[in-house]
Structures are given as structure tokens and as C-alpha cells.
């Protein structure tokens, strides 16, 4: 009987020793293995995360995409918010913006862009052929010229690589619109299995064109167009994207009533994880290529969001 107990003890000690030889914890906290036992990380040289920051710039859009050491900036908010934006970019280690996308010439999108261009090294600037006679827009064109930069026009289907990700141009599909919002440059960003769609302030008219251009629009994340306006984000468009995460970039109590009740209802009906810069300030999403994490809990849609506050 005693002999059997000793054997069991010896066997247990031996097993523990073998296990500790085979498995050790890597410095990054993930379990790594020795020998030909399955490894979670060692053979995955592609492992890297992609971060998308929806920066709180009040009423407007400013979105930073970080992939490895490469950066994209989509819009730059109003000029008065540009110090905040530039500080945020510097705090996040940005020295160069590989791509800058000015979706369309409204000041809540390109107002801060001239200051951004003067503060960072700039790769490509992508802007549609929309024109505006506003002082803000003319000053932006002057700043681009003064910095010896050229504007790259968005061509549907053109693909750009950025770090470990890529993006494809999905809008605008025409060159002449009545509404300046419809000139918005739209992109679909792909990071392995995760996809994100950004369409600036594109209205239903441009959304319908995107639905017809043959590009698969299915997306995990959609930055709701035009700050959550009901003149964008149509049912057909939401059906095609079928996102499970949406973001609204707007200012609290803005004079436009953004986000509109219809869109808040659509978010609730579709059980979408919604995030709002007006209620939750800057939102950061991080993709490992398969799953997406965020720095905040999803916004809880309440009764007040579903009642029209303006006639
Ligand atoms: Zn806007």
C-alpha cells in the first residue's frame, strides 16, 4: 500500500515537471509552448492590432486610424478644435500622417485641416472635386500648395495599403452633386476579418450609388454618416452593411438635433452596439483582426433618445 502511494507521488512530480518544461508564460502574458505543441503566437508574425480613434472635437468628425506605425486621418473637425486635435495626435505618437482624407469642404470636417498639415509630415491627401468659396476651404487649398502637396482624387475601387490593413475607395461615385455632403469621400477599411466603413456626411443619394457600385459593403463597424442624421443612414444602406457597432460623432445639444430620433430607433431595433462622442467623448476601437474591443461600454439608448426634441 505504502509502495503504491510513493509511485503515485513520483508520477505526479514527474508530470508536473514535464508540463512546466513544455509550457511557459511568454513576456506578453500569452501562453507559449516549447516543442511541437500548438503555439498561439510564435508563428503569427502578422499579429498586430489596428486602432481607430473617434476623437471628440465637438460638432464634426476627426478619426485617427493607427496600423503598426502608419496613420490615416479622416477629417479634422472645426478650426477652433484643432489645438485639441493636434494635441491628441501628438500624445498618440503621431509624427506623420500617411493618408489624410478631407471628406468634403464643410468646416466641421476640414476646418482644422490646414493647422494639421502645418504640424505633421503628410503623405497623400485625398479629397473629392467638390469646391467651395468659403474662406476655410480656400485657406486649406493655399496651405496644401504652400507645403508642396498635391491632392489625390478618390477613384472608386482604388485600394491603398496602410501598415497591416488596407482601405478601398467606395464614394463618391459621381462627379457632380447638388448637395455638398454627397461629395463625401467614403472608404472601407479592412484589417484581416474586421471591416469598417466611413462615409463622411454622404446622404441617401450617395448611399444608393454605393449600393450599386458592386463593392461588398458588409462591415463590422459603421461611423454613422452625417452625425446620425436621418437624411443619411437609410435602411437599405444599414441592411447592406449590417454593422454590429456604430459610432456617432457630434456635439452634445447641437443645433441640428443630431443624432435624429429615426436613427436612434434604427440602432435600438437592430441591437447595435452604439457609441457617441457627444455623450461619451473620444471612442477608441481596437481590432486584432478577428475581434473588436472598445475603451467604453456601449451607450444605453433611453426613452429621451427616442422622442423628438424639435418640431
Ligand atoms: Zn458634418
Between the CA of 184 and the centroid of ligand 1 the distance, in Å, is 10
pLDDT, tens only, 285-304: 999 999 999 999 999 999 99
Q: Which residues of the chain have pLDDT under 70?
A: 1-47, 309-311
Shared domain for 112 and 172, answered yes or no, is: yes
Inter-residue contact 140 to 114 (CB < 8 Å): yes
Between the CA of 15 and the centroid of ligand 1 the distance, in Å, is 63
Between the CA of 19 and the centroid of ligand 1 the distance, in Å, is 58
Do the domain assignments include residue 95? yes
DSSP H helical ranges for the chain: 2-22, 82-91, 107-110, 113-119, 135-146, 204-212, 235-241, 261-269, 277-280
Between the CA of 132 and the centroid of ligand 1 the distance, in Å, is 15
| CATH code for the domain of 193 | 3.60.15.10
Between the CA of 25 and the centroid of ligand 1 the distance, in Å, is 48
Model confidence, pTM: 0.85
User: Which residue range(s) make up the domain with 152?
Assistant: 50-306
Shared domain for 207 and 64, answered yes or no, is: yes
pLDDT, tens only, 122-173: 999 999 999 999 999 999 999 999 999 999 999 999 999 999 999 999 999 9
Shared domain for 25 and 58, answered yes or no, is: no
The number of distinct structural domains making up the chain is: 2
Inter-residue contact 194 to 293 (CB < 8 Å): no
Shared domain for 167 and 29, answered yes or no, is: no
Nearest to 75 by CA among 147, 139, 126: 126
What is the 8-class DSSP label of residue 231? T
Shared domain for 84 and 155, answered yes or no, is: yes
Please tell me whether residue 307 adopts helix, strand or coil conformation.
coil
Amino acid at each position: 500500500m505504502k509502495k503504491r502511494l510513493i509511485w503515485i507521488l513520483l508520477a505526479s512530480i514527474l508530470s508536473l515537471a514535464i508540463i512546466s518544461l513544455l509550457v511557459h508564460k511568454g513576456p506578453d502574458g500569452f501562453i507559449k509552448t516549447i516543442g511541437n505543441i500548438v503555439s498561439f503566437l510564435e508563428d503569427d508574425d502578422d499579429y498586430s492590432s489596428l486602432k481607430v480613434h473617434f476623437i471628440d472635437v465637438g460638432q464634426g468628425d476627426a478619426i485617427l486610424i493607427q496600423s503598426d506605425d502608419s496613420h490615416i486621418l479622416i477629417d479634422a473637425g472645426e478650426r477652433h478644435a484643432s489645438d485639441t486635435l493636434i494635441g491628441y495626435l501628438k500624445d498618440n505618437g503621431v509624427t506623420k500622417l500617411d493618408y489624410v482624407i478631407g471628406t468634403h469642404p464643410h468646416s466641421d470636417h476640414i476646418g482644422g485641416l490646414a493647422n494639421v498639415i502645418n504640424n505633421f509630415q503628410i503623405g497623400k491627401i485625398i479629397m473629392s472635386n467638390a469646391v467651395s468659396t468659403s474662406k476655410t476651404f480656400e485657406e486649406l487649398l493655399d496651405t496644401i500648395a504652400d507645403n508642396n502637396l498635391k491632392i489625390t482624387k478618390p477613384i472608386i475601387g482604388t485600394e491603398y495599403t496602410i501598415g497591416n490593413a488596407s482601405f478601398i475607395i467606395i464614394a463618391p461615385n459621381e462627379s457632380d452633386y447638388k448637395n455638398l455632403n454627397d461629395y463625401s469621400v467614403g472608404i472601407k477599411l479592412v484589417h484581416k476579418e474586421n471591416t469598417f466603413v466611413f462615409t463622411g456626411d454622404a446622404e441617401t443619394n450617395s448611399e444608393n450609388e454605393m449600393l450599386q457600385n458592386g463593392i461588398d459593403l458588409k462591415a463590422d463597424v459603421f461611423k454613422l454618416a452625417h452625425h446620425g442624421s436621418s437624411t443619411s443612414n437609410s435602411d437599405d444602406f444599414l441592411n447592406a452593411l449590417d454593422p454590429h457597432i456604430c459610432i456617432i460623432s457630434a456635439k452634445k445639444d447641437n443645433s441640428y438635433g443630431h443624432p435624429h430620433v429615426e436613427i436612434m430607433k434604427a440602432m435600438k431595433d437592430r441591437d447595435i452596439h452604439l457609441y457617441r462622442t457627444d455623450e461619451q467623448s473620444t471612442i477608441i476601437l481596437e481590432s486584432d483582426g478577428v475581434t473588436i474591443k472598445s475603451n467604453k461600454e456601449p451607450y444605453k439608448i433611453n426613452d429621451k433618445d427616442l422622442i423628438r426634441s424639435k418640431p
